[in-house]
């Protein structure tokens, strides 16, 4: 009977070893990955134009200014975009100019680029917004922003700019240089 007990005990130990083999052979691993920050950028390929025909009344033609804004920093710090410009002028020996307050941003549409993963920006800028202008471009103003924890991804951002043309404006081709930037932080 002692032998039967011994055999029964050995069988129970062998069964237990087969039932729980993983605990005897378990190992752990701690994977580590590095996510490198990208950049914050603003680009455009736009060559915006507007036209109007003088008719004895003040007019405000508009033009879109399509931009691509990329926040690939991975910080969630938010961002803002700024604009400044030179005054519209015909150039030449006797240039005609439009007022330094001629341009105003009437609104901005913003959308995540198709196929991109985005956190929609929360914009706190009110419109209409005067676009600064001068013979030399003055200090820039914010025209769109993304609050902290928003605006991560790639976006198409399209401001609409109106240009005030008084009824007594000289006819001609007027040009201006617009300077845009994207800056970290709302």
Cα separation, 75 vs 36, in Å, equals 11
Inside any domain, residue 8: no
In 3D, which of 82, 81, 78, 83 has the Cα closest to residue 146?
A: 78
**Number of compact structural domains in the chain:** 1
10-residue block means of pLDDT along the chain (186 residues)?
53 54 76 89 92 97 96 94 97 95 96 87 95 96 96 95 97 96 91
Q: Does 101 reside within a domain?
A: yes
According to DSSP, residue 114 is labeled T
- 133 within domain boundaries: yes
How much is the pLDDT for 15? 55
Containing structural domain, residue 97: 37-184
Distance of CA 169 to the CA centre of its chain: 36
Those residues whose C-beta lies under 8 Å from the C-beta of residue 154, and which sit 6 or more positions away, are: 68, 69, 70, 72, 112, 113, 116, 118
Q: Is 156 within a domain? A: yes
């Amino acid at each position: 009977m002692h032998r039967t007990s011994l055999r029964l005990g050995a069988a129970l130990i062998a069964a237990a070893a087969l039932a729980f083999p993983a605990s005897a052979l378990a190992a752990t691993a701690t994977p580590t990955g590095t996510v490198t920050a990208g950049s914050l950028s603003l680009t455009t390929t736009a060559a915006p134009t507007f036209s109007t025909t003088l008719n004895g009344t003040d007019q405000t033609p508009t033009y879109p200014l399509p931009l691509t804004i990329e926040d690939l920093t991975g910080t969630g710090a938010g961002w803002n975009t700024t604009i400044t410009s030179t005054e519209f002028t015909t150039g030449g020996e006797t240039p005609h100019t439009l007022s330094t307050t001629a341009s105003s941003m009437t609104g901005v549409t913003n959308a995540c680029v198709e196929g991109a993963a985005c956190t929609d920006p929360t914009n706190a800028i009110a419109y209409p917004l005067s676009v600064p202008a001068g013979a030399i471009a003055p200090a820039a103003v914010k025209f769109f922003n993304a609050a902290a924890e928003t605006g991560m991804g790639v976006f198409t951002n399209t401001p609409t700019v109106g240009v005030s043309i008084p009824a007594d404006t000289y006819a001609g081709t007027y040009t201006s240089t617009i300077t845009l930037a994207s800056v970290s932080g709302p």
